């Protein structure tokens, strides 16, 4: 196995707290995977990660989602969702439809063209992520996922305590 390159977290003094090193390693790794994914989406599909994310949310909800729900799921402002939705609607990839349960609200959903475009992107996107993690065995990935789930639960409990 190749020796890890010198980076911000490995340059820290050995006396630095392990939690800081781990946090920096997680940030750096996430940034590398995300940057590569953004670049590949742009190069291959002339799209952005936020557009892909919005389409992914709609793909999981075939009947559509309200703008507020999209904003909540994507963890971005309503203005961001509106701007992305407007562009995707102009391109014929999403459509807005009246919500039969709430006359004041609109549902956003993928059009048939949007479903086809997303299916192509999603298949390739999955391959990029799998390739990014190929260095790890299935057991190593399962262990990391379990540890991160535990950490996520703990940090969430700290947030609730602090609120």
Structure tokens at 32: 């590398």
Q: Residue-wise pLDDT tens for the chain (163 aa)?
A: 566 666 666 665 665 688 888 999 999 999 999 999 999 999 999 999 999 999 999 999 999 999 999 999 998 888 889 999 999 999 999 999 988 888 888 899 999 999 999 999 999 999 999 999 999 999 999 999 999 999 999 999 999 999 9
CA 51, 123, 112: angle at the middle one, nearest 5? 60
What is the distance of C-alpha 6 from the center of its chain?
Answer: 27
* Domain enclosing residue 100, as ranges: 18-132
- What order do you get walking across the sheet with 102-110 strand by strand? 65-66, 102-110, 94-99
Is 66 among the domain residues?
yes
- Give the model's pLDDT for residue 149: 97
Is 8 among the domain residues?
no
pTM for this predicted structure: 0.82
How many distinct structural domains can be found in the chain? 1
Q: Which CATH number do you get for residue 47?
A: 1.10.10.10
- Give the model's pLDDT for residue 53: 96
Is 140 among the domain residues?
no
């Amino acid at each position: 196995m190749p020796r890890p390159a010198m980076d911000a977290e490995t340059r820290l003094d050995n006396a630095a707290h392990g939690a800081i090193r781990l946090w920096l390693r997680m940030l750096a790794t996430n940034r590398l995977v995300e940057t590569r994914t953004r670049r590949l989406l742009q190069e291959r599909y002339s799209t952005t990660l936020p557009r892909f994310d919005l389409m992914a949310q709609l793909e999981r909800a075939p009947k559509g989602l309200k703008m507020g729900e999209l904003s909540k799921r994507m963890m971005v402002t309503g203005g961001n969702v509106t701007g992305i939705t407007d562009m995707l609607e102009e391109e014929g990839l999403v459509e807005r439809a009246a919500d039969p349960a709430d006359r004041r609200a609109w549902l956003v959903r993928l059009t048939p063209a949007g479903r086809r475009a997303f299916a192509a992107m999603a298949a390739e996107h999955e391959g990029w992520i799998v390739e990014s993690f190929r260095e790890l065995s299935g057991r190593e990935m399962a262990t990391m996922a379990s540890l991160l789930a535990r950490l996520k639960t703990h940090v969430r409990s700290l947030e609730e305590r602090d609120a």
